[in-house]
Amino acid sequence: MSNKKDYYEVLGISKGASEQEIKKAYRTLAKKYHPDVNKEPDAEAKFKEINEAYEVLSDPQKKATYDQFGFAGMDGSQAQGFSGAGFDDINDIFSSVFGGGFGGFGGFGQSRQSSNAPRKGQDRYMQMNVSFMDAIFGKNETINLSVDEQCSQCLGSGANSSSDITSCPRCNGTGRVVTQQRTAFGVFQSQSVCPECNGKGKKIKKVCPKCHGEGYEHKRVSVDLKIPAGIQTGQQLRVQGKGERGVNGGPNGDLYIEVRVGQHQYFKREGKTIYISIPISNVDATLGCSVDVPTVYGDVELNIPAGTQNGTQLRLKEKGVPDIHGGKTGDQIVEIKVEIPKKLSREEKELYQRLSKIQHSSTESVFDKFKKAFK
């Protein structure tokens, strides 16, 4: 018991965290440490620790018990009542012994949620790599999963027929048993999981021949996914009912697939905007020209005005990423990279020399104008 970490510390939250904060912390950590994603040696143990903490803190009654009694209240030692103690108010006993009232249990004698009630399974998380172009245009993808699904023959009961299911004689179908212990204050009652039915509250005379009494079948299934156009890294796809199996015949949790979009050799993406850099000569930048610029939709003619400077950005409207919600498509930004030749032919060199003489004879050079600013 002493080796266990505080559940709030496991999820990295404060004791006053809201239900939403608890759920958000769990989802973040579950994605990080799920054994299907994280291959570190201690990932599986960490994942189980996270699930154990969430199972308690997400249940208001279990959380209240844990807040008042710590781990002692989680191992079948949840206080249920006193008798013959000689106190007028049952809360006085708990104030004396534990330093707090009986409010953590919602009041003496109130019914607790049965441990054999159907419960939805935990959600599962995995990642999927999607190419740059598939994220732009969307695609249909089929993935293969291992999943525990409700047995089609017994519908999760684990029995051969409904007549083969009887109430557990030890706990009378509640899934829990009450034990008593004499203390200095009288008789202390505690509740724990029934050891005969393991908390299910039922006994099966003849098990289902298909699932051998498990209530579920382990299957390898194919799931068709629709990757929407415009999806980006970090967004999730939800597959209903493909998470961890439910408890006591409850439904499976869901599967959340986080998308990781790959990079492109030339295109860069920021949200719905695509960026690309294109090289042009200093002559074309000076005189202006028209070029066919690559886009994800094919080449598009772009007019580059005379006198364009290095680093100038020009916009191609609606040549970017589609809006995943059906809104306006983004733009493509074309950055101009003016290239200065490192080697010239004899004819090119002569032409540049003539151009230089013309510029110096008719106007001040760019450098001369720069120098004037220091005088």
Q: What is the pLDDT of residue 116?
A: 62
Give the span between the Cα atoms of 108 and 100, in whole angstroms.
14
Q: Each residue of 314-326: pLDDT tens digit?
A: 999 999 999 998 8
Measured distance CA(248)–CA(118) in Å, rounded: 5
8 is written with which tokens? 């709030």
| pLDDT at position 40 | 84
What mean pLDDT is reported for the chain?
Answer: 82
pLDDT band per the 50, 70, 90 thresholds, residue 91: very low
**pLDDT score of 106:** 37
State the first-to-last Cα distance of the chain, in angstroms, to the nearest integer. Answer: 82
Radius of gyration of the chain (CA): 35
Residues of the chain above pLDDT 90, percent: 38
Q: What are the tens digits of pLDDT across the range 187-211?
A: 677 788 888 887 778 888 898 999 8
CA–CA gap between residue 26 and residue 51 (Å, rounded): 8
DSSP, collapsed to helix, strand or coil, labels residue 301 as strand
CB 314 within 8 A of CB 255: no
Give 3's pLDDT tier (boundaries 50, 70, 90): low
Give Cα separations from 199 to 124, 157, 167, 196, 202 (angstroms): 25, 14, 11, 8, 8
- Beta partners for residue 182, in sequence order: 187
Helices (H) and strands (E) in the chain, counts: 9, 16
β 124-130/255-261 pair status: parallel
Is the pLDDT reported for residue 35 higher than 80?
Answer: no
Report yes or no: 201 and 168 within 8 Å, Cβ to Cβ. Answer: yes
Q: Which residues pair with 301 in a beta bridge?
A: 292
pTM of the model: 0.58
**pLDDT at residue 134, as a whole number:** 97
Name the more confident of 80 and 317.
317
How does residue 85 score in pLDDT terms, banded at 50, 70 and 90? very low
Q: How many CB atoms are located within 10 Å of the residue 208 CB?
A: 21
What confidence tens digit (pLDDT) does each residue in 288-307 have? 999 999 999 999 999 999 99
With bands split at pLDDT 50, 70 and 90, how would you rate the model's confidence at 132? very high
> Which of the four pLDDT bands, split at 50, 70 and 90, describes residue 65?
confident
Please say if the pLDDT value at position 245 is more than 90: no
Q: In this predicted structure, what is the pLDDT of residue 272?
A: 96
Greater confidence (268 vs 98) lies with 268
Q: Taking the CB of residue 84, how many other CB atoms lie within 10 A of it?
A: 9
Nearby residues of 112 by Cβ (< 8 Å), 6 or more positions away: 61, 105, 191
Residue 343 has pLDDT above 50, yes or no: yes
pLDDT band at 169 (very low <50, low <70, confident <90, very high): confident
